[in-house]
Chains A and B, each alone.
Chain A
Amino acid sequence: MTRQRLSRRDLNTLAAAGVLGYSCSGWLEALAAQTAHHPQRRRACILLWMNGGPTQTDTFDMKPGHANGGPFRPIATSVPGIQISEHLPRLAQQMGDVAIIRSITSREGDHGRGTYYLRTGYLPQGPIQYPTLGSFLSKELGAEDAPLPNFVSIAPFRLFNPAAYGPGFLGPQYAPLLVGDNPNFQPAANGNVADMLRVQDIAPPADVTTPQFDHRVSILEHMERDFASRHPGVSPQSHRTAYDRAVRLMRTAARAAFNLDEEPASIRDGYGRNLFGQGCLLARRLVERGVAFVEVNLGSLPGAPAGWDTHVQNFTGVRTLCNVLDPAWAQLIVDLRQRGLLETTLIVWMGEFGRTPRINAQQGRDHFPNAWSVVLAGGGIRGGRVYGRTSADAMTVEENPVTVPQLMATICRALGVDHARQNMSNVGRPIRLADHGAEPIAEIVA
């Protein structure tokens, strides 16, 4: 009821929202009204975030026979003519649902800026707080009355640029539910992975019984109704919404999604018994229960302490990372397909930039934003395709360069979201989901 009142009241605001230089007063109200008009969720997105900037030359854009190619060998995949790294053998079998973009190009070779660019679609620019793609996509795809939060972030590594992980001008309502949060630089311990993937503070303390908690909530509800009736406005309303959703999350059976012990041991083994593997399993369980956007981070591992930031000993590191990445990703595709969810679930594999084709003196590869790869799989994607081409030495894009805003537009299109949709920003300027002028890559979206 409140929501409808808001919508009517804000129609004027919305009409004015398209005007440049429009006042920022009430932008959150304008957002609330937009949300109220949303169609129901259609698709879901899983982002596999490769922290540190994954090498393209040793994964999806092999250069056998060239000095830049390194020691890894390409292998055939289930799609004739497409080859990927020998360290991704299980994924190779799923290539029919996978599209590789080999021609991403940007100028951001700094972790902080690159992370921001790839995760928001915009360069950091003065006071505008751009939302991360999980926030703006879950706003488009999620349902307000869903039992689980619309955006879940698993084991994020935020140090490179915390702002690239937040809801920005969309506000805390679109902040992710964090699990396996790892604010410090600590390689994930393999032992207690299932416990790490539980939601913090999801249950009352042990000495509070369930009936007692229910009583507490009803006392609180009474106070909130009372307060909101005297003090209508965005803030108390947002408080109420968040508490409603938090209590719903505590009470819903869907909360069992976080209980990975429900899965058979063979499935759990299939994903790999590590934080990333079990995170992908959790992502599948969340998507099954209607969560719109889940991101899983793969970075620092025992044997690859710097994650994908392989300035030193690139080949040892990448092999270790691929051994974790390959089974989890492949199993995720297989599982989603088996459950009939692959058609409606887009899987995005990317990091903040690629790595230099030239191998440095420490057997490492450095930051390289000029020409690198991003992989899209599943829903909305024409699989079994490669888009774009780099030169024989991998140093330049030779065909169909793809910019980051174009990539964002493509992700939007694959999810059935209009990439030109605008949100009101904190500086009172409407901001498109994908930056002005960017169009989806028609060749790879279904």
Chain B
Amino acid sequence: MARRWSWAVVVMVVPAPSWADGPAFSARELAQRIDERLAAAWKAEQIQPAPPADDYEFLRRVYLDVLGRVPRVSEIYQFLDDPAPQRREKLIDRLLAHPSFIGHWSNTWRDIILPTGGNQQAVFFANNLRTWLEQQIKKDVPFDQMVRNLLAAPTTLNQPPRGQFTAPANQVNPLAYLQAHEFKAENLASSTARVFLGVRLECAQCHDHPFAKWSQTNFWELAAFFSGVGLQNRFVPPNQPQPAALKNPGKEIKIPGKEKIVAARFPTGELPIWDDAKDPRAILAEWVTSRNNPYFARTAANRVWAHCFGIGLLDPCDDEPTEDNPIRHPELLAELTQQLIAHNFDLKFLLRAILNSRAYQRSSAMTHPSQKDLQSFARMPIRGLTPEQLWDSLTTAVGYRPAPGQLDPRLDFLNNQSIRAQLLARFALPERRTETQTSILQALALMNGKFISDATSLRTGELLAGVADFPAWSAERKLETLFLATVSRPPRAEERDRLLTYVQRGGARGDEAAALADVFWALLNSSEFLFNH
């Protein structure tokens, strides 16, 4: 490719960020605008949207997306007892204020910021980072502030205070982000670009990007801001190459294998204005999270959208639009971006608006061929669960409680022999949640593994045994309860008749309770339970 553009050229063609100053809508107003924009697009493209999701379908989905688990049977009844108008809006408010939201939202951002690929060491750092994220999210720190705290975290945080020999125990700080990237400027630069700007610069690390506009110099100019990290960090292992000595750490970097020293520069081509009171990373972080940086807010808004639909308006979320892969509904993403800025990077606001839209509350069942394209958002895509959503949903559905004296397996993430670790070892985070694949080992683990076997045993399954033994309930009521606990809806008439006959005849063993266990087993293994839809 002969011609290479610089980022400066690209940013100039992006409309001047005056839209960042538009009016701030309420969540309800924004929800309405989302639906208006999608409706206009469907009309133009002759797409027939799917009907609204019924209460059960909506309830299950919003629990999975906000709390990270399916609803309990009691929570389903509680919701249905609310008066119908506005009960969905009220539920969304209730869930966003629920303590479990903080946990699920922390997991979500941990997976975005530090994807682990199942690597044990990366998992360790990611969980350290999660503790910090949880604290930030609990305090409602705006997203831009949180990213600044992350990117500019002083490397001295883990070091003992002057005159002491040990660092304070249980420090909560974001240093795991630097550790996970081995304190290397190039790793931090590519992560920053990918995660927060939606730009993949990695390939430009070693050579000019083969099919995008980034040059190797662009990459190292960005990396230069991080060049002081390795020097500040006292714990570079002795067998690792020590970072090259630099006259101005954080302001320049040496490209490995070349003699060239590159000065720090924003990818837009602007030169930073240094302030000796500030770490160069803080100056970079201010630029990254600036309201005028068109990449930052857009990437964040797109990620919130992707959280709710499994796929972004721009997909994947960490890459730039191209001619072949443009932003879908660009005016919608622009509006979400603008509203995120107008609401001072309050991600929860955006989440609330999207959850309240009719688009989010549409059925996932396909009713017309025109709904096939997931990015038309004419129906809700089917999404795989994260390993944590799976575990939390399983434990909720089966009424699992850790044995007395046993550590809650959720807190026991370092123990790779725990029942949770053994099950989840089979389930990595899917790269694309709308294209989740299942392996034979996963199927075997769910069909025959210890967790499901215990849960579907009449001796050990908490919920199953309770339901099966409840004397006052009819077989029909028991069947309904098992359905509600797993797939969050009562059986349809046809299912009810067929399965009731099976249960009342006692299934393969001539025993009603055992037949209920069979149904429960099938429900737990079903796509309907194992996917968010």
Shortest CB distance B2–A (Å): 15
Are the CB atoms of A199 and B444 closer together than 8 Å?
Answer: yes
**Interface stretch (choices A240-248, A257-265, A310-318, A370-378):** A240-248
Asked if A212 lies at the interface with its beta carbon under 8 angstroms from chain B, I say yes
Query: Roughly how many angstroms separate A27 CA and B325 CA in the complex, as a whole number?
Result: 13
- Size bracket of the B interface: 35 or more
Q: Could you say which of A22, A202, A209 contacts B324, with CB atoms under 8 Å apart?
A: A22
Asked if A80 lies at the interface with its beta carbon under 8 angstroms from chain B, I say no
Shortest CB distance A207–B (Å): 7
- Size bracket of the A interface: 35 or more
Taking CB atoms, residues of chain B closer than 8 Å to A202 are: 444, 448
A353-395 contact mask (Cβ, 8 Å, vs B): 1 or 0: 0000000000000000000000000000000000000000000
Are the CB atoms of B117 and A162 closer together than 8 Å?
Answer: yes
Are the CB atoms of B439 and A175 closer together than 8 Å?
Answer: yes
Q: Which residue, B120, B364, B375, B448, has most C-beta atoms of chain A within 10 A?
A: B448
**Interface stretch (choices A90-98, A100-108, A228-236):** A228-236
Q: Could you say which of A212, A243, A245 contacts B518, with CB atoms under 8 Å apart?
A: A212
Q: Could you say which of B203, B319, B435, B514 contacts A28, with CB atoms under 8 Å apart?
A: B435
Asked if B299 lies at the interface with its beta carbon under 8 angstroms from chain A, I say no
Query: Roughly how many angstroms separate A29 CA and B374 CA in the complex, as a whole number?
Result: 13
Query: Roughly how many angstroms separate A19 CA and B319 CA in the complex, as a whole number?
Result: 17
Are the CB atoms of A177 and B322 closer together than 8 Å?
Answer: no
A196-232 contact mask (Cβ, 8 Å, vs B): 1 or 0: 0001111111011101101111011011101110111
Asked if B75 lies at the interface with its beta carbon under 8 angstroms from chain A, I say no
B426-451 contact mask (Cβ, 8 Å, vs A): 1 or 0: 00100110111111111111011100
Taking CB atoms, residues of chain B closer than 8 Å to A242 are: 437-440, 442-443
Are the CB atoms of A227 and B528 closer together than 8 Å?
Answer: yes
Asked if B453 lies at the interface with its beta carbon under 8 angstroms from chain A, I say yes
Asked if B11 lies at the interface with its beta carbon under 8 angstroms from chain A, I say no
B195-213 contact mask (Cβ, 8 Å, vs A): 1 or 0: 0000010110100001110
Shortest CB distance B393–A (Å): 15
Taking CB atoms, residues of chain A closer than 8 Å to B441 are: 175, 177-178, 200-201
Are the CB atoms of B438 and A172 closer together than 8 Å?
Answer: yes
Shortest CB distance A323–B (Å): 32
Given that A245-B440, A246-B443 are known contacts, is A129 also in contact with B431, CB under 8 Å in the complex? yes
Are the CB atoms of A163 and B119 closer together than 8 Å?
Answer: yes
Given that A126-B202, A173-B439, A207-B457 are known contacts, is A24 also in contact with B525, CB under 8 Å in the complex? no
Query: Roughly how many angstroms separate A246 CA and B447 CA in the complex, as a whole number?
Result: 9
Query: Roughly how many angstroms separate A173 CA and B441 CA in the complex, as a whole number?
Result: 10
Shortest CB distance B333–A (Å): 16
Are the CB atoms of A238 and B437 closer together than 8 Å?
Answer: yes
Q: Using CB atoms, name the residue of chain B closest to A236.
A: B527
Query: Roughly how many angstroms separate A24 CA and B194 CA in the complex, as a whole number?
Result: 16
Asked if B159 lies at the interface with its beta carbon under 8 angstroms from chain A, I say no
Taking CB atoms, residues of chain B closer than 8 Å to A28 are: 432, 435, 437
Taking CB atoms, residues of chain A closer than 8 Å to B509 are: 209, 212
Q: Using CB atoms, name the residue of chain B closest to A238.
A: B437
Shortest CB distance B420–A (Å): 15
Q: Could you say which of B119, B203, B319, B457 contacts A205, with CB atoms under 8 Å apart?
A: B457
B366-401 contact mask (Cβ, 8 Å, vs A): 1 or 0: 100000000100000111100000000000000000
Given that A21-B211, A241-B438, A428-B325 are known contacts, is A223 also in contact with B118, CB under 8 Å in the complex? no
Query: Roughly how many angstroms separate A226 CA and B491 CA in the complex, as a whole number?
Result: 12
Are the CB atoms of B448 and A24 closer together than 8 Å?
Answer: no
Taking CB atoms, residues of chain A closer than 8 Å to B525 are: 220, 243
B308-339 contact mask (Cβ, 8 Å, vs A): 1 or 0: 00000001101100101100000000000000
Query: Roughly how many angstroms separate A126 CA and B528 CA in the complex, as a whole number?
Result: 35
B511-524 contact mask (Cβ, 8 Å, vs A): 1 or 0: 00010001101110
Shortest CB distance B425–A (Å): 7
Query: Roughly how many angstroms separate A240 CA and B442 CA in the complex, as a whole number?
Result: 12
Query: Roughly how many angstroms separate A200 CA and B508 CA in the complex, as a whole number?
Result: 25
Q: 20 more A-B contacts (CB under 8 A) besides A227-B526, A236-B531, A246-B444? A: A22-B324, A126-B200, A162-B118, A169-B431, A200-B441, A200-B445, A202-B444, A212-B508, A219-B502, A219-B518, A220-B522, A224-B526, A231-B364, A234-B436, A235-B434, A235-B436, A236-B527, A242-B442, A243-B447, A246-B443
Closest 3 CB pairs of A and B: A126-B202, A23-B325, A246-B443
8 contacts between A and B (CB under 8 A): A21-B211, A24-B319, A25-B375, A125-B203, A205-B453, A224-B527, A231-B527, A245-B440
Give the interface of A toward B (CB within 8 A): 19-29, 125-127, 129, 149, 159, 162-163, 166, 169, 171-173, 175, 177-178, 183-184, 199-205, 207-209, 211-212, 214-217, 219-220, 222-224, 226-228, 230-236, 238-243, 245-247, 249-250, 426-428
